[in-house]
């Protein structure tokens, strides 16, 4: 299917609410990519924008580096639990209302983070901020499931990841520049403004994609049974765990490399921001290479390519690190390749997992996928800080990344051997 052939598959609803009824359907798709991209990028900004300020925040709050790393874990746990709650709610209430509430809370907590006086207060607010930011991520995936199917969904996810990928690329770079202009509190003022922009985009630019007749009213017991069924479904759980463990690999790099680059390689916050941006560009390029492969290679094969490429990159990183030959340039080059491969993993694993479930539980399946992703990502990445000094090192970062890459690849290969890696898309 060519780019011109992409057309949204919209559920039945009142004509005024259907983007497909627009006389410019491609224009509607572009607008939808922009709105959902900004909403999804909010969670990336929440995790990445303040990374260059870690040492400054630790000094200002008189806290250990490991305590500041835990504020990042708190966001990840919030993102995981928030998706678990907000995804099913969006299946009951529709997509717009939970998004508006979530973005409003995100805005408020962002401004409150400017006032913290301790690492504990900071972590608590970051947890709430993560729960709120989850609305943009989980409901955006549900909107895509409402609107697209098959390769059209994979293509849209790739476009979405392209836009979302700008946040982790530009976030640390912007954060580094903000530190030149003021203190770390300025970073959270910018996050608050981003939250306000999200509220406006939802209110004015996002039509409801789940009409009342398609909503599912379910109590807590029904929701738990739905989650249990998905966890037993190999077509869902194999790509979901693959996605979650691959994210843990990437997030270990994200959470640890700020300290590693500045303390082991002598980089400045601005140099770290530039390196982070270069590596995120690798993910964007990989994501666009995935678009080129759509129609030429099956979704599962594209996922294989990403998994084995990422595993090879981390093995190479381990060789550099444990042989004593690691330098800032060589490590950045290997991480660039790893992030390129991540650009193949994310959209294809997401497509396989979400497409394996009925459209009526799109929000619930998206929630469980996101919860597994951020729960495993946050917990496993924090293991890099379990050293004798309580600080992440290049060696501890590599060990966690290598373990998660191996297990992620093993799970999907095992599922493929058993015949469960294909999805009916």
Cα torsion 345, 307, 134, 171 to 10°: value is -80
Tokens representing 405? 């890459």
Cα torsion 33, 36, 38, 43 to 10°: value is -140
Q: What are 299-339's pLDDT values in tens digits?
A: 889 999 999 999 999 999 999 999 989 999 999 999 999 99
Domain ranges for the chain: 21-206+219-417
Nearest to 141 by CA among 127, 171, 126, 161: 161
| Res 383: pLDDT | 83
Residue 53 has pLDDT above 70, yes or no: yes
What is the DSSP-derived secondary structure letter of residue 311?
Answer: H
Number of residues in the chain: 425
When pLDDT is cut at 50, 70 and 90, the band that residue 94 belongs to is confident
| Res 169: pLDDT | 65
3-state secondary structure of 93: helix
| Res 3: pLDDT | 33
Q: What are 405-416's pLDDT values in tens digits?
A: 999 999 999 988
3-state secondary structure of 9: coil
| Res 54: pLDDT | 85
- Structural domain 21-206+219-417, CATH architecture: Up-down Bundle (1.20)
Tell me the Cα Rg of the chain: 20
Burial class (CB in 10 A: 0-12, 13-18, 19+), 298: middle
């Amino acid at each position: 299917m060519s780019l011109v052939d992409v057309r949204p598959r919209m559920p039945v609803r009142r004509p005024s609410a259907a983007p497909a009824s627009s006389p410019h359907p491609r224009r509607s798709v572009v607008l939808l990519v922009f709105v959902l991209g900004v909403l999804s990028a909010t969670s990336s900004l929440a995790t990445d924008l303040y990374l260059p300020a870690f040492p400054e925040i630790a000094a200002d709050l008189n806290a250990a580096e490991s305590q500041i790393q835990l504020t990042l874990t708190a966001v990840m746990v919030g993102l995981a639990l928030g998706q678990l709650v907000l995804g099913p709610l969006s299946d009951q209430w529709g997509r717009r209302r939970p998004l508006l509430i979530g973005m409003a809370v995100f805005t408020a907590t962002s401004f409150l983070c400017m006032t913290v006086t301790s690492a504990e207060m900071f972590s608590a607010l970051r947890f709430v901020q993560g729960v709120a930011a989850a609305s943009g991520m989980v409901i955006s995936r549900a909107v895509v499931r409402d609107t697209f199917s098959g390769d059209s969904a994979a293509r849209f996810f790739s476009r979405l990841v392209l836009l979302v990928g700008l946040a982790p690329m530009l976030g640390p770079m912007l954060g580094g520049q903000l530190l030149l202009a003021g203190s770390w509190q300025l970073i959270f003022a910018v996050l608050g403004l981003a939250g306000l922009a999200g509220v406006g985009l939802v209110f004015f630019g996002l039509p409801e994609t789940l009409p009342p007749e398609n909503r599912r009213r379910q109590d807590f017991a029904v929701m738990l049974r739905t989650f249990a069924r998905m966890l037993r479904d190999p077509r869902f759980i194999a790509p979901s765990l693959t996605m979650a463990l691959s994210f843990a690999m990437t997030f270990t790099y994200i959470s640890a490399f700020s300290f590693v680059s500045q303390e082991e390689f002598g980089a400045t916050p601005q140099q770290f921001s530039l390196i982070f941006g270069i590596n995120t560009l690798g993910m964007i390029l990989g994501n666009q290479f995935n678009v080129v492969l759509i129609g030429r290679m099956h979704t599962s094969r594209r996922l294989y390519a990403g998994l084995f490429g990422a595993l090879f990159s981390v093995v190479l990183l381990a060789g550099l690190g444990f042989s004593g030959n690691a330098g800032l340039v060589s490590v950045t080059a290997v991480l660039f390749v790893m992030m390129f491969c991540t650009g193949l993993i994310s959209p294809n694993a997401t497509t396989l997992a979400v497409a394996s479930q009925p459209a009526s539980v799109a929000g619930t399946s998206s929630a469980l996928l996101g919860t597994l992703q951020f729960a495993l990502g946050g917990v496993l990445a924090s293991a890099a800080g379990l050293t004798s000094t309580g600080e992440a090192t290049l060696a501890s970062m590599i060990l966690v990344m290598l373990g998660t890459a191996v297990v992620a690849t093993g799970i999907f290969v095992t599922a493929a051997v058993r015949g469960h890696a294909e999805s009916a898309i």
